[in-house]
Amino acid sequence: MYITARIAITCEREFMSASPIRETQVACPSCQTPIRVGIVSFIDADMFPQLKNILIGGRLNSAACQACGTPVMLAAPLVYHDANKQFCFVHIPQQLLASAQSADMERYVGSITNALMQQLPPEIPRGYLLTPKRFLTMQTLVEAVLEGDGVTKEMLEMQRKRVDIISQLLESMMQGDEALFKVMQANQADMDEEFTATLAAFVEASQASGDPEGIQQLSALQSKIAQFVGGENIVQYNILIDKLMANDDAEERKQLIKSNQEIIDYTFFDLITNRVNAANEAGDTATAQELDAMREHVLTLYEEIQAGLEAAYIRAGALLDSVFSAEDMATVLAQNLDQLDDIWDILVDGQRTMAERAGDQASAERLSQIIELTKTVKESSLSPEDRIVNSLIESENPTRYIRENIGDITGAVVKRLNELAEEYETKGKTDDADKVRRIAREAGAMLF
């Protein structure tokens, strides 16, 4: 929150003082508590490099209310000088230019540039001081300072993106591990070494400013990111363990296991064992026993699922043999529509890949034909609503599809989209569920 600073400019050589920081007192705009804020209106990059760092960090002329935590930034003029780069930058906030202080501000800038011309050694050029470069916003001034240091706009944009991701992660962390994991997945490509360094700089800044809450939150985020980025995604494992502990229904546990089979491994069971040991050491035998029972139940359910999958693949293999050798493949597929499920799709596509790798072009072409016929048979069995739903989901631009086919968008289509989103949610496919819900909301909005 910006507050216009009341600044008395009395000394044209204030930049030569031991400290260019002057304190003023303002009232917190939220709770009216008096706040002492240090004001800087001149920075010389050589004399006061620490002030340059504060400027770049966005902390110049700012403070937080100790009573309510509201951040306050003072609108104050700034002259930035760097003799080595021949920079003289000026920023006067619009609210000051429009006020009675406007003339004082201009006189202040003139006094600073005149004093600089008198102080600089004779051999140093002075021409740039006659026409200081003015900036409408503090942000554009900071960008110019950074550009002078070799930091490009593209690099700045990447840094802003990293800061934005950190903000998203902190916000999601407050909602729990599952929300945090989702945001980490969405930004995984940008969570590189430079991102880690940026987060570490945030931690250091919190430590330097004595912000215990900030240190705690940022350090906790560092730890969770380290778990996520590492070889074993401990965050994902712990989310699944928590869900299994919270739900002891066999069918719902089985569904959780089915949708997370890739992480039901040694690490998963090792983490449960660690929790059991920790609970026993803490004297919490009830929790230890619950964890033990859950582990045994999961192991039993997992073995049942694997046995079922094995049987399903055997059935799909037998059907594939029949279809492959049939003269009328489409008829055989239609007669076995109930078996054309995900297992079937995976098996046929896998067999085609193996045929291609083996150089068996005839078999690969036959299997490709089966894949296309399977799609045709499935689509022919769909209701009109399901056909529209499939087209929407498979479309590269659902918004355009809705607009171009508005006559096909009915209440039944929106209802089916929402039902499908619920099915995805039940199976643990949260990204698919979110995508379908977005399409359902957009389609629903077009009905009114």
3-state secondary structure 377-409: HHHHCCCHHHHHHHHHHHCCCHHHHHHHCHHHC
Q: What's the confidence (pLDDT) of residue 428?
A: 64
Distance CA 61, CA 40 (A): 6
Q: Which two tokens stand for residue 431?
A: 């990204």
Q: What is the mean pLDDT of each run of 10 residues along the chain (448 residues)?
A: 49 50 84 86 88 81 80 85 92 76 78 87 87 89 89 81 89 84 82 84 71 79 76 73 88 85 84 91 93 92 87 92 92 91 90 91 93 90 83 86 85 87 75 86 79
In whole angstroms, give the CA distance from residue 42 to residue 306. 71
Collect all residues with Cβ–Cβ distance below 8 Å to 232 and sequence separation of at least 6. 267
Instruction: Give me the pLDDT at residue 430, please.
Output: 74
For the chain, give every domain's residue range: 2-149, 155-230, 237-308, 326-380, 385-445
Q: What is the pTM (predicted TM-score) of this model?
A: 0.45
Give me the pLDDT at residue 14, please.
Answer: 47
What DSSP letter does each residue of 180-205 carry, written as one string? HHHHHHHTGGG-SHHHHHHHHHHHHH
User: pLDDT tens digit string along 309-323?
Assistant: 889 899 999 999 999
Neighbour-count burial of 30, counting CB atoms closer than 10 A to its CB (0-12 exposed, 13-18 middle, 19+ buried): middle
